[in-house]
């Protein structure tokens, strides 16, 4: 078992300004611990920009810059190309973007990288809305979740980023969760070692946007997997491995009742949502089993 307190490389300074209990902070600390200091990071606007810093101060001890919301992958590809021209194949180029900057605004730029086979590692930390600008709904916001742009609950289903990446047939893509950081770290290592583009899509509990007790981030991430709301799997050179398949799904209620973003739902709507989540889960598992 990895002990971050005693083994951390310390590439993220203390005292960063994320909210208490922020899942994103755990993710960036663990990511850089695996990748090490020979990494260049590209961060778009969003909560991750809290790490690229204010003015002359940054909280990461690696080089990097903040691009635009729409071009993280293209910026990373540019850095990779420059490194390649200098004969540097070793440095990891990390694109680290939120869901809005990935599945909405930056999708064309990401698709270009996946098509060209640029060797970058792309991590989408998915807190399921545009959090940094006040919790607007993104195309990764789950069905019925309340955001400031969908106050009565979102009425469309989320885009499936993994399946979009897989459609480009890249060498490595994986989903991950903060409730299993060892699994996440192994995936980051595999992605780093991949000769070509790699993508990790990690669900990122956000106490501010999801409206829950900040002590419950890891518990919520676990419940997301146990209720079938988030599926852990990898796509490696054309083959799928399902990393966690609960024998029996826990009732969705256990996951949504501790989040304020679902508290507007009446019993009938909770039942409807349960049906949607179960159907989606069964559909994706069937598809993944076919691909494994």
Ligand X SMILES: Cc1ncc(C[n+]2csc(CCOP(=O)(O)OP(=O)(O)O)c2C)c(N)n1
Which of ligand SF4, Mg ion, ligand X, none lies near 19, with the C-beta cut-off 5 to 8 A by kind? Answer: ligand SF4
Look at residue 262 and give the partner it binds from ligand X, ligand SF4, Mg ion, none, a contact being a CB closer than 5 to 8 Å depending on partner kind: none
Does 33 help bind Mg ion (rule: CB under 5 A)?
no
* Of the candidates 217, 222, 47, 213, the residue with the CA atom closest to the CA atom of residue 135: 47
Report how far residue 119's alpha carbon sits from residue 111's, in angstroms, rounded to the nearest whole number: 13
Q: Does 130 bind ligand X (CB under 6 A)?
A: yes
The binder of ligand SF4 chosen from 73, 131, 164, 174 (CB under 6 A): 131
Asked if 17 interacts with ligand X (CB under 6 A), we say no
Binding segment toward Mg ion, per CB under 5 A, in 54-62, 130-138, 190-198, 284-292:
130-138
Phi, psi of 17 (to 5 degrees): -100, 30
132 touching ligand X, by CB under 6 A: yes
278 near 153, Cβ under 8 Å?
Answer: no
Q: CA 281 from chain center: how many Å?
A: 19
Q: Which residue is nearest to ligand X (CB)?
A: 98
Report the residue number, 48 or 221, with the smaller CB distance to ligand X.
48
> Of the ranges 26-34, 44-52, 186-194, 261-269, which one interacts with ligand X (CB under 6 A)?
44-52
Pair 61, 41: CB distance under 8 Å: no
Which of the stretches 56-64, 131-139, 161-169, 222-230 binds ligand X when contact is defined by CB under 6 A? 131-139
Strand ranges (E), the chain = 39-43, 64-66, 92-98, 121-126, 172-177, 198-203, 233-236, 239-242
φ, ψ at 249 (rounded to 5°): -75, 140
- Six-digit token pair at 165? 């990446």
Q: How near is the Cβ of 23 to ligand X at its closest, in Å?
A: 10
Tell which positions 13-32 bind ligand SF4, by CB under 6 A: 18-19, 22, 24
Length of the chain: 292
Is 45 near ligand SF4 (CB under 6 A)? Answer: no
User: Hey, which residues between 91 and 130 contact ligand SF4 (CB under 6 A)?
Assistant: 127
How many angstroms separate the CA atoms of 144 and 99, rounded? 17
Count of CB atoms within 10 A of residue 167's CB? 11
Q: Under the rule (CB under 6 A), what is the footprint of ligand X?
A: 45-48, 69-70, 98-101, 105, 127, 130-133, 138
Q: Under the rule (CB under 5 A), what is the footprint of Mg ion?
A: 98-100, 127, 131
């Amino acid at each position: 078992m990895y002990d971050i307190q005693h083994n951390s490389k310390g590439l993220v300074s203390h005292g960063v300004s994320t909210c208490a209990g922020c899942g994103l902070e755990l993710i960036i600390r663990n990511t850089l611990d695996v990748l090490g200091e020979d990494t260049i990071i590209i961060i778009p606007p969003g909560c991750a920009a809290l790490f690229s810093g204010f003015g002359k101060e940054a909280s990461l001890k690696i080089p990097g810059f903040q691009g635009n919301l729409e071009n993280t992958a293209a910026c990373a590809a540019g850095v990779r190309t420059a490194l390649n021209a200098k004969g540097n194949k070793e440095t990891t180029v990390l694109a680290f973007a939120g869901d809005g900057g990935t599945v909405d605004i930056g999708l064309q730029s990401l698709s270009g990288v996946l098509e060209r086979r640029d060797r970058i590692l792309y991590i989408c930390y998915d807190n399921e809305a545009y959090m940094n600008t006040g919790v607007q709904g993104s195309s990764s916001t789950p069905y019925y979740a309340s955001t400031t742009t969908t106050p009565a609950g979102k009425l469309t289903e989320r885009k499936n980023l993994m399946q979009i990446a897989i459609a480009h047939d890249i060498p490595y893509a994986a989903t991950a969760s903060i409730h299993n950081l060892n699994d996440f770290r192994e995936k980051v290592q595999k992605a780093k070692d991949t000769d070509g583009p790699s993508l990790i899509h990690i669900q990122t509990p956000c106490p501010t946007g999801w409206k829950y007790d900040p002590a419950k981030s890891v518990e919520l991430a676990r419940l997301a997997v146990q209720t079938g709301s988030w599926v852990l799997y990898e796509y490696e050179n054309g083959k799928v491995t399902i990393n966690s398949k609960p024998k029996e799904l826990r009732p969705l209620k256990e996951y949504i009742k501790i989040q304020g973003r679902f508290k507007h739902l009446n019993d009938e709507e909770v039942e409807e949502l349960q049906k949607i989540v179960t159907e989606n889960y069964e559909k994706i598992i069937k598809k993944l089993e076919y691909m494994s």
